[in-house]
């Protein structure tokens, strides 16, 4: 009886190890997919477009403030 009990705990530990491995793989897969998505957006130039838009707005704002003292 003691042997069967030990066997059950062994299989239980194996099962929990398999479950934790599966969870880890799922988490890694999700991170991997998020990275692929971000990289594809970068390739399209989506992030670059946002940065360019911010830079243009900033330059425009600077241009307007530099004109104020002159006028």
Number of structural domains, the chain? Answer: 1
What is the C-alpha separation between 71 and 5, in angstroms, rounded?
Answer: 90
The conformation of residue 1, written as its DSSP 8-state character, comes to: -
CB 22 within 8 A of CB 28: no
Tokens of 47: 């992030």
Tens of pLDDT along 27-64? 888 888 888 888 887 777 766 666 666 665 555 555 55
Rounded Cα distance between 21 and 14, Å, is 10
Domain of residue 18 covers 2-67
The pTM is what? 0.34
User: 36 in helix, strand or coil?
Assistant: helix
Query: Helix, strand or coil for residue 70?
Result: coil
């Amino acid at each position: 009886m003691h042997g069967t009990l030990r066997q059950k705990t062994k299989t239980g530990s194996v099962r929990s190890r398999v479950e934790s491995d599966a969870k880890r793989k799922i988490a890694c897969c999700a991170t991997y997919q998020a990275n692929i998505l971000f990289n594809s957006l970068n390739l399209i130039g989506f992030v670059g477009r946002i940065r360019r838009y911010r830079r243009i707005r900033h330059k425009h704002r600077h241009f307007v403030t530099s004109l104020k003292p002159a006028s």
